[in-house]
Structure 1
Amino acid sequence: MGKKSQRRLGKLQLEIDELTSETRTSVLMHKQAQQRTERKKSLLHRLFFLAKTSPEMVDKKVLGGYYENLFQKLQRSHQAEGITGLLLLYSSHVIHLLESSSDVLYSVIRDLKDMQQQERALLLEPKILLISHNIPSRLFQQWEYNVLNITAERLDDTLQGEPIEKIVSEFLTLFLKLGTHIQKTYKEFPNKPLSSVLDNVPELNVPQELIERVLKSNELLTPHQFLDVYDASISVIMDSEFVWPKPEHLLPETRK
């Protein structure tokens, strides 16, 4: 990712940090914040993945319910950071951003991997777009999902033929702008429905063709590939292996 793209994402993160100082809260969120202050058991991380939806899944809300149940189970087994984020359900694709502890996020990735072994998987061909570690603040203050009624759009002509690094950078920038807009709107109108917020900014919705372009990239890892790397044993290199010339093992002198 180029320096210009990094500066752009850094500026967006500063806007996110400012927004998180005043956001709508609930009793559950207050309790979770109190637990984090008292125990500080884990750091905050962010997971971003994409996938196709099963053509057999007519009602996209089924996937929203699936993740609600999964998060309830993970919250009971991982008494640490809460789970926040946004799941956008397109006609044939999904974008999912999650913020929580590393244990929770890796459990979600393992669930994605296991799902691919099922005969009727809800999600197909998932790819890990980004994992950010030790982020300073949340982009979202709760987890929500929304079904989008968006037809397929053409990929911006300026992105045609561009390397995947630039495509991903534009993708992330657009989505972070959307998240920042949602936070600003909730700050001013705490009870406004998410669907209404998204309808007001169609230019910030990621085009489906851009999602498809990213999913076809071989540079991004599938959950299976990611976990193979994550679970691989670490090869320890001894300090002596960096010495040159290589130490010789002296043999005892033979007696004449």
Structure 2
Amino acid sequence: MLLRRTKQVNVAFVKVIQAVTLVELLASLSLMVTLLFALSSFYSDSYKNQHKLQTTLSLQQNAQQIMNFFKQHIQHIYYQGIDRENSNYFAFTYNKSSVAIKPQCLVFFYDINSDGCVGNRKKKSACFVKGKNNTSDVAKEVFGFKVDHQELHIYQDSSISKCSLIQCKQLLAQCDQGKWGKLTQYNNYKISQLSFSWLKEHKVMQVLLSLTKNNQTYSTQSYIYILNNEKII
């Protein structure tokens, strides 16, 4: 009788051990699934954050390049070489100025080669003759920046060299004439904001720029000091 009782007790004990082991196994599996889900979520978030960071850095780099390009030329607004005899500046000025600012458009010219004229002066000849411009490569000294369909465009119209007085005057009067070329591509990023304004008239220009890609936007601003703040008359 004693042996039978002992056998029954042992059987019951084994069943308890088996039951406890199964519960622990299920708990372990549940913990592993939770841990794997957490790790998967962590790596997914890390990838997204890394991708966002790369996009932000790319937008920042492109915005800085655009701003540097603006500064390279805007800082020389109003510059004219000292040889101003027989110049054609009067033919291109608008409201007695060599720069025209509009909400999303800036057009101006300055004397890159320091010969006193807009474009390249011809030897022993005036820069404006018989009602027509008489210089070459005028477009190389004319700079225009505008946004069209969220892309940045720059002025590239070489035909302006042959302009009459009326046509020359229209250069700064409007931003929708002449030939313009794309400086940026919509597929790479969008120009969501571009504005030019005087922070201090004829001395400091403020430029606001925003680039957008993959629903991310990077915005920056720059204050460009005009090295020659002489207003053209």
**TM-score exceeds 0.5:** no
Q: Which is richer in helix?
A: 1
Q: Identify the TM-score tier after normalising by the shorter chain.
A: under 0.3
User: Which is greater in Rg?
Assistant: 2
Higher relative contact order (CA closer than 8 Å, sequence separation 6+):
1
